Amino acid sequence: MTTSAGVTSPVADDVQIVRRLLAHIDAGTTDEGEVWREPVQNYLDPKRFADELRMLRSFPSVFIPSAAIPNPGDHVERVCFSTPLFAVRGRDRRARVFRNACRHRGMALVAGTGCAHALVCRYHGWTYRLDGSLAHVPHADAFPGLDPATRGLVEVTSTEADGLIVIGALNPDAALQAHAQDAMTALTEGSAWRDKLVPANRLVAEASVVLAINWKVLVEQFLEGYHIRSTHHETFFPLQYDDLNVVEMFGSNSRITFPYRNIERLRDRPESTWTIGRRVTFVYQLFPNVMLATFPDRTFVIVVDPIDIDHSRITTYTVTTPENAAEQHDGAPSGPTPLDRGVVEDNEMSLGVQLGLQAGANEFVEFGRHESAIGHFHSTLDQRLALLTN
């Protein structure tokens, strides 16, 4: 697909999306794909989870949105696939990602978020520049033969593109090098989401919570609109359609479009005047564990980190445009929004699924033709797992 700027995109442009949605509304239909049956054992088997974690560490993944560290000295940490990491923006404005460990005793160097001129270990005061090089060791004479040039922080390969900081494999596997490079390209060639994410360069909130839910169940909750009426009857359903989506796959990634009812106001307007920003939510699933969800006044970058077979951490970065950030700052707090309540509802459903998986009632989880993005996720996961060597 070629945009008005002449850039090729793997997804439909906004006008084409509106046409498809209006056609679905008129016909009472939705995008359809193949049925997928996922064995329940794949959610419960410790060996399967260990293989998944090994695979996740062997491929690139999105770490954080660029908006989380906009200025030199800004830093943020996250435990990624059980590996503590942090990102920091240097004085040269380059974003770097490091393993979160002091080179003296392994103390975690960064906690939470912050901004600093240098990174100082709270334990013994070893100090590192923003580029990771070792700058100061208290009582350095106590460490004969210490070469500061070899004791800088351990950097993780990373690339910043189109509003995201993407890390390379944490445990590189030479046999997977070509596949890992393809995966990196899929996460850094951001033409599919560039115009939606890049303008949202202000971080307005960050939240993290651990849930007693398998990571795959949490990813699944974002990838279909079949549940809108039953799960979100008083939150999303008054504004959106039930079981009406446009689903697009591009490589290992996918995009699901959730229309608002106000999209019908475009019917009698010239296509040249159509605006879509306040008429749909786009959810980009960036394989394996990151969702970009666009809303009229904000965008969420949601990361699902596996902890163990039945626990995961969800970290949500809320970003927006400078204009919206100013408006939200000036507005008075108004309590939980329908969007906030809808997120709680989704997590409640996922917790119920997690409990049901352990009940022994089903041999497989069935995803119907209207849930095809979930099948794509599992198919890609299977393909990546099949690449692992014993």
Percentage of residues of the chain with pLDDT beyond 70: 96
Half-sphere exposure of 264 (CA within 13 A, CB side): 7
Supply the pLDDT for residue 334. Answer: 59
List the CATH code of the domain at 63-160: 2.102.10.10
Q: 191 or 325: whose pLDDT is higher? A: 191
Q: What is the pTM of this model?
A: 0.94
Q: What is the mean pLDDT of residues 243-249?
A: 98
Band of the pLDDT at 2, cuts 50, 70, 90?
Answer: low
What mean pLDDT is reported for the chain? 95
**Average pLDDT value for residue range 225-240:** 96
- The average pLDDT across 74-100 equals 98
pLDDT of residue 380: 98
What's the Cα-to-Cα distance from 27 to each of 23, 83, 96, 207, rounded to whole Å? 6, 49, 50, 40
**What is the reported pLDDT for 36?**
98
pLDDT band at 1 (very low <50, low <70, confident <90, very high): low
Tell me the sheet residues that pair with 158.
167
Query: b/e for 10-25, b at 16 or more Cβ within 10 A?
Result: ebbebeebbebbeebb
- pLDDT band at residue 330 using 50, 70 and 90 as cut-offs: low
Confidence of residue 338 (pLDDT cuts 50, 70, 90): confident
Query: Is the domain 14-60+193-389 a CATH 3.40.50.300 member?
Result: no
- The torsion defined by the Cα of 121, 94, 174 and 104, in degrees rounded to 10, comes to -10
pLDDT tens string 96-137: 999 999 999 999 999 999 999 999 999 999 999 999 999 999
Q: What is the mean pLDDT of residues 178-203?
A: 97
Mean pLDDT over 62-78 rounds to 98
**pLDDT at res. 75:** 98
What are the structural domain ranges in the chain? 14-60+193-389, 63-160
Q: How many CB atoms lie within 10 A of CB 81?
A: 23
Topology agreement, domain 14-60+193-389 and domain 63-160: no
User: Is residue 142's pLDDT more than 50?
Assistant: yes
Q: Please report the pLDDT score of residue 331 as a whole number.
A: 54
Query: Which pLDDT tens digit goes with each residue over 363-380?
Result: 999 999 999 999 999 999
pLDDT of residue 4: 46
What value does the mean pLDDT take over residues 167-196? 96
Which DSSP helix (H) or strand (E) runs through 130?
A: none
Please tell me the predicted confidence (pLDDT) of residue 357: 97
Please report the pLDDT score of residue 337 as a whole number.
86
Q: Give the full edge-to-edge strand order of the sheet including 95-99.
A: 113-115, 74-80, 83-89, 95-99, 155-156
